[in-house]
Structure 1
Amino acid sequence: MARRSWHKSADTRTEILDEAERQLQAVGYADMTIGSIAKALGMSPANIFKNFGNKAGLIDAVALRWVMEIDAAIETTAGIPSASLRLRAMAHLILETHLVRGKMPARLAIMIGLDSTPPPSAIAFFHRLLQRFEKLIEDGIADGEFAPCDVVVTAAALCDSLITILDPAAVLRSRSLFTVEEMTKKCDQLVDFVIRGLSLRA
């Protein structure tokens, strides 16, 4: 492919990320390289290094796009006054986002998990998610929906309880066993279980 002239940095980054996602889907994490992306786009590998530093930086940028989608979806629940209803909406939106994204996030999570630590953007997302859960639990306690508790410890337990929804690899495994309707029902059942636990008084 002939080399192209690249002018707009934002456009360049978008095309690189789009191609990285395409190759992650087609050949996987191990076989996706800076060189293979540069060749497909008809650009110098130096252009990719300039924009992302290295393969780890590129993967982090791909992960960032995914978690920003989930962040944006979760943000739409901020106006729901009931903590229980907000939690249910958050769980469904996270599940739906993973299902729409398909196999790529799950495969990437598995491959990176076997090789190294998760991308910084993914770690930052889970920290933000924990903070959202802490705020949700605080609101539920203040409104009398939830029993008083250690908010930080309970938010961490909430994350663990919802891991089959939060983890794209777990969602992919479930997708091979259940229909979307069944997964949605299981999501509701899991949220029901969590809400009952949050509501219990000693």
Structure 2
Amino acid sequence: MARRSWHKSADTRAEILDEAERQLEAIGYTDMTIGSIARALGMSPANIFKNFGNKAGLIDAVALRWVLLLDAALDTTADIAPASQRLRAMARLILETHVAHGETPARIAILVGLDFRPPPSALAFFDRLLKRFETLIDDGIAAGEFAPCDDRPAAAAVVCDCLMTILDPAAVLRGRSLFTVKEMTEKCDRLVNFVIKGLAVHA
């Protein structure tokens, strides 16, 4: 392919990321290289290095694309009340997203972490999710729905732990081999019910 004229721009980054996603799905992480992307796009590898630094930077940018979409979806739940309903909506939305996209092995590998080291974007998403749960708990306490709690960050972490089979895309993929989507949704609801009962004000 003839070399094209490229410059550092949002369009260039988008084309590189599009091709990286295509190759991740088609040939996998190991065979996708800076060189293979450059050849496919008819550009110099230097252009990719200039935009992303290295392969790890490129992978992190791909992960950031995915988690920003999930972040945007979760933003739509921010005003749902009461807090228990918001928690259910968040859990279902995350499950639905993982079910819809979770059969792409590269996506699972990247979000969970290559060699068990998630990219910075995936770790940052998890931190934001903890903050969302902390805010949800605060709102539930303020409304009298949840019992007062001295350590809300720790409570938010426990909520994450309880819902991990829903939040973790690899766990969702494993679940798909054992359960139907309907069964997984019912399981999600049961887990949320368990969490809500633990957070609730008890007479």
Q: Which of the five TM-score ranges fits, normalised by the shorter chain?
A: over 0.9
Percent identity over the alignment is: 73
> Number of residue pairs matched?
200
Matched, 1:163 2:200: no
Greater Cα shift, 63-72 or 29-38: 29-38
Q: Could you state the TM-score of these two structures normalised by the residue count of structure 2? A: 0.92
Match of 2:56 in 1: 56
Matched, 1:201 2:202: yes
Q: In the superposition, relative to structure 1, how do residues 110 and 124 fare at CA in structure 2: closer, same or farther (>3 Å)?
A: closer
Matches within 5 A, 1:137-152: 137-149=137-149, 150-152=151-153
Matches within 5 A, 1:62-81: 62-81=62-81
Q: 1:191: how far off?
A: 0.7
Q: Is the 8 A contact 1:141 1:148 kept in 2?
A: yes
Give the letter for the 1:108 counterpart.
Answer: I
CA distance in 2 between counterparts of 1:75 and 1:148 reads 25
CA distance in 2 between counterparts of 1:113 and 1:90 reads 28
Match of 1:106 in 2: 108
CA distance in 2 between counterparts of 1:124 and 1:8 reads 25
CA distance in 2 between counterparts of 1:51 and 1:129 reads 28
Map Cα deviations across residues 10-64 of structure 1 (whole Å, 9 max, x no partner).
1111111111111111122122111111111111111100100000100110000
Q: Could you state the TM-score of these two structures normalised by the residue count of structure 1? A: 0.93
CA distance in 2 between counterparts of 1:113 and 1:97 reads 23
Greater Cα shift, 66-75 or 21-30: 21-30
SS of alignment partner, residue 29 of structure 2: coil
Map Cα deviations across residues 165-195 of structure 1 (whole Å, 9 max, x no partner).
1111111111222222221111111111111
CA distance in 1 between counterparts of 2:98 and 2:26 reads 18
Q: Is the 8 A contact 1:105 1:169 kept in 2?
A: no
CA distance in 2 between counterparts of 1:100 and 1:43 reads 33
SS of alignment partner, residue 77 of structure 2: coil
Map Cα deviations across residues 85-113 of structure 1 (whole Å, 9 max, x no partner).
00001111111122222323213245613
Give the letter for the 2:185 counterpart.
Answer: T
SS of alignment partner, residue 29 of structure 1: helix
Match of 1:94 in 2: 94
Map Cα deviations across residues 143-168 of structure 1 (whole Å, 9 max, x no partner).
11111122111100111111111111
SS of alignment partner, residue 30 of structure 1: helix
Q: Which runs of 5+ in 2 are unaligned?
A: none
